[in-house]
């Protein structure tokens, strides 16, 4: 396994659309392992392939509450087959936008269909943090970020803050 570098906004790769994975291969399994390791190291609860510059429809997540058994998931080619009418507003953060947390409103529950690393199609309903995480990570695969749900002024402020952060980090 190896740690991958997480891209920070603004980066054109974070705005690209990822491509479907035709089949589960060793390189996809390795990508999943690397992404989980990178996510846990960050630490975070979700990471999309586009965030490490890989344009494939893959994301990883583990929204198990702290102190509970880890529940790592590698999700390939996700699709939402249902979303609830009820919405929920919660604070989101993103490893590509460090130290920024803002409230976003999304459907409270979703049903997702995906390809597992076992090569099988899975479908399951998710709520709570899992539902938020799934929608956030699926947005990444279409080049969308959670700050896109905020107003333009706030988005510009956050983007310039990240430009400064990147400059500082590159000096180290």
What is the smallest separation between the CB atom of 140 and Ni ion, expressed in angstroms?
6
What is the smallest separation between the CB atom of 26 and Ni ion, expressed in angstroms?
26
Residues 6+ apart with CB under 8 A from 136: 46, 92, 94, 104, 146
CA distance 161 to 72: 31
Residues 6+ apart with CB under 8 A from 100: 93, 94, 147, 158, 161, 162
User: Which position's Cβ is nearest Ni ion?
Assistant: 94
Closer to Ni ion by Cβ: residue 24 or 45: 45
Using CB under 5 A, which residues numbered 93 to 112 contact Ni ion?
94
CA distance 50 to 58: 8
Closer to Ni ion by Cβ: residue 111 or 144: 144
CB 130 within 8 A of CB 4: no
Closer to Ni ion by Cβ: residue 75 or 94: 94
What is the smallest separation between the CB atom of 136 and Ni ion, expressed in angstroms?
5
The residue range among 3-11, 27-35, 53-61, 87-95 that interacts with Ni ion, by the rule CB under 5 A, is 87-95
Containing H/E element for 154?
Answer: helix 152-171
Q: Which residues pair with 111 in a beta bridge?
A: 82, 125
The residue range among 3-11, 72-80, 86-94, 109-117 that interacts with Ni ion, by the rule CB under 5 A, is 86-94
Q: 5, 88, 120, 137: which one is catalytic? A: 137
CA distance 22 to 76: 10
Closer to Ni ion by Cβ: residue 24 or 132: 132
What is the smallest separation between the CB atom of 46 and Ni ion, expressed in angstroms?
6
* Catalytic (active site) residue 33: no
Q: Which residues bind Ni ion (CB under 5 A)?
A: 94
Residues identified as active-site:
137
């Amino acid at each position: 396994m190896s740690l991958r570098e997480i891209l920070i906004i603004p980066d054109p790769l974070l705005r690209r659309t990822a491509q479907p994975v035709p089949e589960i291969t060793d390189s996809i399994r390795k990508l999943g392992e690397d992404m989980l390791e990178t996510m846990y190291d960050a630490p975070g609860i979700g990471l999309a392939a586009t965030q490490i510059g890989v344009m494939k429809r893959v994301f990883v997540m583990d929204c198990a509450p702290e102190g509970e058994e880890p529940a790592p998931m590698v999700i390939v080619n996700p699709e939402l087959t249902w979303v609830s009418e009820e919405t929920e507003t919660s604070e989101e953060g993103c490893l590509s936008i460090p130290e920024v947390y803002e409230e976003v409103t999304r459907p409270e529950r979703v049903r997702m269909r995906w390809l597992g690393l076992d090569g099988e199609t899975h479908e399951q309903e998710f709520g709570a943090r899992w539902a938020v995480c799934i929608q956030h990570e699926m947005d990444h695969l279409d080049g969308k970020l959670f700050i896109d749900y905020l107003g333009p002024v706030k988005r510009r402020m956050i983007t310039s803050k990240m430009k400064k952060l990147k400059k500082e980090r590159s000096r180290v």
